[in-house]
A = this chain, B = another copy of it.
């Protein structure tokens, strides 16, 4: 993946935040049970083909669209922009990059009107929109909140083969890098980038791509995340927990990774930090630091490295994958050829007591 993505001469659209994702699901009823009955997302609107869901503190129409379809995949990653005029910038920016661009004044689904969708240079389906229906912000409606209340959408995490290439492109789009994972030879394994002043709106994870690694929703407190785990146990679907709960090194947030009925990965996330100052210091993690992904050194399960969801092109067809050519984070940290350490310089034993069978 050495082809260079040029920096357009036209200004990028002014992105406010990551706003919603549309997921294609194979069984809409099963997905509804997971996202509505188990996780407690709020239904703004639904029909036989799609369900529009939002978090408790959201005032726009939706943060997640579930759409019945033949192949589970991520259909679009949507950013809210600062004004209607930014859609013109989006069209110009991606047109200059030679990307496929589609604009619909009536929107591509419910709730959102004028919107631009593109196949971005990394192969991801991306939407930009401003014009959206307002709905009631349920922040004060505590009578509706569940113990694991999801209050915001936080970020997208995308898999791409060449992280620096992707990072430069997102910087062209106006993103700033807040944290990354590197090795001593300069290989970059992942990078976190933000528009809103938190650790990220979008992260890039090195791997065969384009694929969706996960999307994340935020809770207010850590006990809310633990309550989700407790409920999954009570429903005897604890095997939907893939990894965590735990404390991230990167981002310093408390986290949990779930897999939905189609295997789409959902993170529940809380309490990262302010990054909105223009000189916010970049935090670089050594890929061999065993606390980078889990501050407590708890193991990252292999599936977390290997599995991800296909993404669709604007015709709804899965994008072809391009393989990562650089070393993978899993290979350099787990198993026979990998190593990691708890204390730098202390390379004898990177894993915890008795972690391996």
Contact of B302 with A357 in the complex, beta carbons under 8 Å: yes
Please classify how large the interface on chain A is, using the bins under 10, 10 to 19, 20 to 34, 35 or more: 35 or more
- Do A222 and B226 contact each other (CB < 8 Å), given the known contacts A134-B281, A234-B141, A242-B354? yes
A296-B82 contact, Cβ under 8 Å, with A139-B273, A223-B223, A252-B140: no
A213-227 vs B, CB cutoff 8 Å, 1 = contact: the mask equals: 000000011110011
Assembly CA distance A351 to B240 (angstroms): 10
Residues of B within 8 A of A229 (CB): 247, 295-296
Is A238 among interface residues, defined by CB-CB distance under 8 A?
yes
Q: Contact between B352 and A241 (Cβ–Cβ < 8 Å)?
A: yes
B139 touches A252 (CB 8 A): yes
Q: B276 and A196: CB pair below 8 A?
A: yes
Report how far A276 CA is from B151 CA in the complex, Å.
Answer: 15
Which residues of B sit under 8 angstroms from A82, Cβ to Cβ? Answer: 278
A274 close to chain B: CB less than 8 A: yes
Known contacts A273-B139, A278-B16; decide if A354 and B230 are in contact (CB<8 Å).
no
Can you report 8 A-B residue pairs in the complex whose CB atoms are below 8 A from each other? A130-B278, A140-B252, A151-B273, A221-B221, A221-B222, A233-B291, A233-B296, A263-B353
Q: Is the CB of A239 within 8 A of B353?
A: yes
> Is A142's CB within 8 Å of the partner chain B?
yes
Q: Which A residues lie at the B interface, using CB under 8 A?
A: 16-17, 57, 59-60, 80, 82-83, 130, 134, 137, 139-147, 149, 151-152, 196-197, 220-223, 226-227, 229-239, 241-242, 245, 247, 249, 252, 254, 259, 263, 271, 273-274, 276-281, 290-291, 295-298, 301-304, 306-307, 334-335, 342-343, 349, 351-357
Contacts of A334 in B (CB 8 A): 357
Query: What are the residues of chain B within 8 A of A335 when measuring CB–CB?
Result: 357
Total identical chains: 4
Closest to A197 in B: B196
Give Cα A270 to B259, complex, Å.
Answer: 28
Please provide the 3 A-B residue pairs with the shortest distance between their CB atoms, ordered closest to farther: A303-B354, A238-B297, A233-B295
The answer on a CB contact under 8 Å between B134 and A233 is no
